[in-house]
Chains A and B, each alone.
Chain A
Amino acid sequence: MIELGLYFSALIAIYAIMALALNLQYGVGGLLNFGLVAFFAIGAYASANFSIAGMPILLSMVLATVIAAIAGALIAIPTMRLSIHYWAIVTISISELIRVISTNEEWLTGGTFGMPNIPQPFAELVPVSAYSSFFAVFAFLFLIGSYWIANSVAESPFGRVMKIIREDEDFGRSLGKDVSRFKLKVMALGAGMVGLAGALYAHLTTYISPQAFEPIVTFIIWAAVILGGKGNLKGSILGAFIMIALFNSTRFLGDYLDINAVTIANVRLALIGLLIMLTVLLRPDGILPERKKEF
């Protein structure tokens, strides 16, 4: 039970990193990235491949982060001029494209069977009994680092320009800001963070397959950001905590009630859908609304 709690703590940290990244893109920058899971997959597969090939794990995680960030920039360059709705559709299509590729290219991803036996960081130094605790702390260190980076960016002059662009792109342009360049940077930064989360996920579970990269991952993170409050970074961490708790707490219902696992899994998903709609309808600014400064 404690083992499971530690596993979920690490998972919360991983989702919180992604929620921070999305909040930076959507909450601060106004970018509707519906393809988050693509970068999650890229980070996970990259780090898994590098570490299985024998590269030091920390180095493969760094490389995975960089590759995901580059992928984010590459996707952003040609699509940046599209209006938000088109962009939402294109990004979700890209994430599905990545998933189809990961299902088909067995040499790179193991295909539908996935990649087992992904090594874990510092596994030879930390005793097995303490490893779950270690990994939870390990993941939370990355979460703290991500929060620090996201917060510094949001509070910096760069973040202020992003908020201007979010509110009114033309106004940003009229101030002489290169809007596309700002969007590109925030896209690459967010994609890199999500890639890091993917790498952490691969090393946490030691097994990844295309099933782990369905669009539902993107939707859960969206729910976390909207529930927590867009533009409020602490809210995203809270939102990620609530979503993971909600998504996994009902897992144990089957032990007590005579309902099959599929039904429970879907009731849980229905709750998430309901939560998204209720938040949008009743509390559109989320639990912790963005504090807007008066200048």
Chain B
Amino acid sequence: MLEQVLLNSVIRGSEIATLAIGVTILFSLLRFANFAHGEFALVGAYVTYFFVSVLGLNVWVAAALGAVLGGFVALLSDVVVFRRLRVSPGVVLLIASLGLSIFLRAVIAAIWGVEGHNYSDDLEQIYRIGDAIITHTQLVIIVVSVAAMAGFYVLLNRTQLGRAMRAMSDNMDLAKARGINVEVTIRWIWFIVGSYAALGGTLIAMDTQLWPDMGVHIILVVFAATVLGGIGNVYGAVIGSFMIGLLENASLAINWAFIATPFGYDGSLYIPTGYKSAVSFAVLILVMLFFPKGIMKGSSGDQ
């Protein structure tokens, strides 16, 4: 039981983290919470589906292509929408991203319909780790996501682009004065976070199912993870993602009767599964109340 909860938490955390990294970076650089990030995931997942179902490609090749195309969608959204709003207050960007999110989701749903899809109907190889069960796909999800995060670490710490990103998030004006080409760097960032989100979308769809509301459902969870880790803090976002994954799975597995027992309650007390999706909202609200700046140090979000 415990092993299974931990394993499910790791899977869920790796999925969330691929999106949370991007949300937190966009916030630290452009000062807004990007509502459209869930739709970048959606676009990636559906592009992957297109390549698998229509062209018959291997699902991982398709996932890579989906990630690249997701990156281009994010880049395009910057060129068409967000670039024109660089000097606007964060509120305006937030609302624009909301419009983009509604638009992208509706376009996807208009093309592919609202029913769910799967990449493959085959039965899967199952592995046992102790008492826990993991499917082959889930194992690969963890590997791919961890590799992606390691790649991001290298990008952030070992490359010129990563240095420019860190400098800009520290102090935009100073970075400009130092001769960093801010606009080019921002475009690269859109591409990278977009492709990470698209990859994350494919991973989520592999684990569960592909449907148009996936983006809307994941984005609030991602926000919760980002806020938990301190918004603007990349490492915090990763840790926050795994914490949300753990809280979602553990809170349902725990028998909460121990709270009620002192009051004479006799029996078991579980949170109904219908409330699973509410866990991240509840966590988010509680974190905001007690740690308004996140558990790790992030930027305050003030303009």
- With a CB–CB cut-off of 8 A, which chain B residues contact A96? 220, 277-278, 281
Cα distance, A86 to B288, chains bound together (Å): 8
Whether A85 and B33, one on each chain, are in contact in the complex, defined by CB atoms closer than 8 angstroms, is: yes
Residues from 81 to 113 in B contacting A, C-beta threshold 8 Å: 81, 84-85, 88, 90-92, 94-96, 98-107, 109-110, 113
Residues from 74 to 93 in A contacting B, C-beta threshold 8 Å: 78-79, 81-86, 88-90, 92-93
- Which residue of the partner chain, among A79, A89, A274, contacts B99 with CB atoms under 8 Å? A274
Asked whether A86 and B94 contact (CB < 8 A) given A78-B289, A93-B224, A262-B109, the answer is no
A-B contact pairs, 22 of them (CB 8 A): A79-B289, A81-B292, A83-B300, A83-B301, A84-B91, A85-B27, A85-B301, A86-B227, A89-B227, A90-B288, A96-B278, A104-B272, A263-B113, A272-B99, A273-B100, A273-B101, A273-B102, A277-B100, A280-B85, A280-B92, A281-B96, A284-B88
Asked whether A284 and B92 contact (CB < 8 A) given A100-B278, A219-B102, A277-B81, the answer is yes
- With a CB–CB cut-off of 8 A, which chain B residues contact A277? 81, 96, 99-100, 103
- With a CB–CB cut-off of 8 A, which chain B residues contact A82? 288, 292
- B interface vs A, CB < 8 Å? 27, 31-33, 81, 84-85, 88, 90-92, 94-96, 98-107, 109-110, 113-114, 216, 220, 223-224, 227, 231, 272, 274-275, 277-278, 280-282, 284-285, 288-289, 292, 300-302
Nearest residue (CB) in B for A275 is: B99
- With a CB–CB cut-off of 8 A, which chain B residues contact A269? 102-103, 105-106, 109
Is there a chain B Cβ closer than 8 Å to A215's Cβ?
yes
Closest Cβ of chain B to A283, distance in Å, is 12
Asked whether A93 and B96 contact (CB < 8 A) given A262-B109, A273-B101, the answer is no
Whether B96 and A266, one on each chain, are in contact in the complex, defined by CB atoms closer than 8 angstroms, is: no
- Which residue of the partner chain, among A90, A101, A226, A266, contacts B110 with CB atoms under 8 Å? A266
Closest Cβ of chain B to A151, distance in Å, is 24
- With a CB–CB cut-off of 8 A, which chain A residues contact B224? 93
- Which residue of the partner chain, among A92, A100, A262, contacts B277 with CB atoms under 8 Å? A100
Cα distance, A78 to B109, chains bound together (Å): 38
Contact with B along A217-243 (1 / 0, CB 8 A): 001001100100000000000000000
- With a CB–CB cut-off of 8 A, which chain B residues contact A223? 99
- With a CB–CB cut-off of 8 A, which chain A residues contact B301? 83-86
Whether A104 and B99, one on each chain, are in contact in the complex, defined by CB atoms closer than 8 angstroms, is: no
Whether A222 and B33, one on each chain, are in contact in the complex, defined by CB atoms closer than 8 angstroms, is: no
Main secondary structure of the interface of B (DSSP, over half): helix
Is there a chain B Cβ closer than 8 Å to A267's Cβ?
yes
Cα distance, A85 to B26, chains bound together (Å): 13
Main secondary structure of the interface of A (DSSP, over half): helix
Nearest residue (CB) in B for A277 is: B99
Residues from 53 to 112 in A contacting B, C-beta threshold 8 Å: 78-79, 81-86, 88-90, 92-94, 96-97, 100-101, 103-104
- With a CB–CB cut-off of 8 A, which chain A residues contact B88? 284
Contact with B along A264-288 (1 / 0, CB 8 A): 0011111011111100110010000
Closest Cβ of chain B to A260, distance in Å, is 8
- With a CB–CB cut-off of 8 A, which chain B residues contact A83? 300-302
Cα distance, A277 to B35, chains bound together (Å): 13
Contact with B along A192-217 (1 / 0, CB 8 A): 00000000000000000000000110
- Which residue of the partner chain, among B33, B100, B107, B272, contacts A266 with CB atoms under 8 Å? B107
- Which residue of the partner chain, among B27, B85, B103, B281, contacts A273 with CB atoms under 8 Å? B103
Q: Lowest 3 A-B CB distances belong to which pairs?
A: A273-B103, A276-B99, A273-B102
Whether A93 and B95, one on each chain, are in contact in the complex, defined by CB atoms closer than 8 angstroms, is: no
Nearest residue (CB) in A for B301 is: A83
Whether A281 and B85, one on each chain, are in contact in the complex, defined by CB atoms closer than 8 angstroms, is: yes
Asked whether A94 and B106 contact (CB < 8 A) given A85-B27, A222-B98, A281-B84, the answer is no
- The residue in A82, A85, A269, A272 that gathers the most chain B C-beta atoms within 10 A of its C-beta is A85
Closest Cβ of chain A to B38, distance in Å, is 12
Whether A270 and B103, one on each chain, are in contact in the complex, defined by CB atoms closer than 8 angstroms, is: yes
- With a CB–CB cut-off of 8 A, which chain A residues contact B94? 32, 85, 88
Closest Cβ of chain B to A70, distance in Å, is 18
Closest Cβ of chain B to A91, distance in Å, is 10
